[in-house]
A and B are shown apart, each in its own frame.
Chain A
Amino acid sequence: MTDWLLALVPQYGLWLLAGCTLASCLALPIPASILMLAAGGFVAAGDLALVPTAAAALVGAVAGDQAGFLLGRRAGAGLIARAGRTAAPLARAGDLLARRGGSAIFLSRWLVSALGPYMNLVAGAAGQPWAQFTLWSIAGEAVWVGLYIGLGFSFAGNIAAATAMAGNLLGLLAAGAATLGLGAWLLATLRAERA
């Protein structure tokens, strides 16, 4: 199916890209990342224009996030009303997301993008402020789109190499963040012991 979708990119480029990023933000199994890598390659080859291509992917992704968020808000409110005993922890989760949810929304757009669609639903259900959600969603999707179209552009002419590079870059960022976090924890522990 991926090859079949890829063949449609130069022909229906912008609509196809927007549709696929939208669908993938709703947890539909569409290889949107590979499509963006290919689109970046077509941009480098001169078959697609950069700005409309990136804009189409971004608009699709943000629209998908909005759809998930609104769905969560509609369906989630009903769930919370019927939650009974679990209403308090749900409200606390919502509270936490409202206070510190920005970075979770941001990172689940691109670093752990598999979580993105579910985060949209949860954020909507938890009553996260719409403007805050939208801002972080746009920022995160811009990184996602920029990363993949940029890699597709730089590694144009070899999707396998671009895919491997994307995986390694994301791995590097995640492992680096974990190292920093654990290092800080270790230092804090040592200081506490010395004190």
Chain B
Amino acid sequence: MKSLWLRHPYLVSAFGLAAALTLFFAAQVTIRTLAWEGHQNEPVQAWMTVGYVGHSWDLDPREIDALAGLPLPEGEPLTLTAIARDRGVPVAEVIAAVEAAVATLRAQAE
């Protein structure tokens, strides 16, 4: 084994490095897959729809709508940005209302 290393130092180290990287990425993929719980509570952002927020937080989007005082969807889904624009309010206000609704519903669920 030692002589192999002495005869082909570059080839053996390249192989070792590639094998180590493979193990590293395999571990990452495995850990992240196992740690995944089906929903991941992503912080509410302007580009999301209420449906997306509901999916991320494992909540019924229509309950979020009702609690946050948002219009029930008609036709195409609206992002929080679009809802804020339609109502003429800053998007931060809509995000805050959705965050409050999510917090309330999560507290109820637990």
Contacts and interface: CB of A to CB of B under 8 A. Distances in A.
B8 A186 contact: yes
B45 to A, nearest CB: 7
B40 to A, nearest CB: 4
Contacts of A178: 18, 21-22
Contact of B77 (A3, A47, A161, A169): A47
A190 B4 contact: yes
Interface residues of A, number: 38
Contacts, number: 114
Contact of B25 (A160, A171, A186): A171
Interface residues of B, number: 40
A106 B7 CA distance: 36
B26 interface: yes
Interface in B5-58: 7-8, 11-12, 14-15, 18-19, 21-22, 24-26, 28-29, 32-33, 36, 39-42, 45-47, 49, 51-52, 54-57
B101 interface: no
Interface of B: 4, 7-8, 11-12, 14-15, 18-19, 21-22, 24-26, 28-29, 32-33, 36, 39-42, 45-47, 49, 51-52, 54-57, 61, 76-79, 81-82
Contacts of B11: 182, 185-186, 189
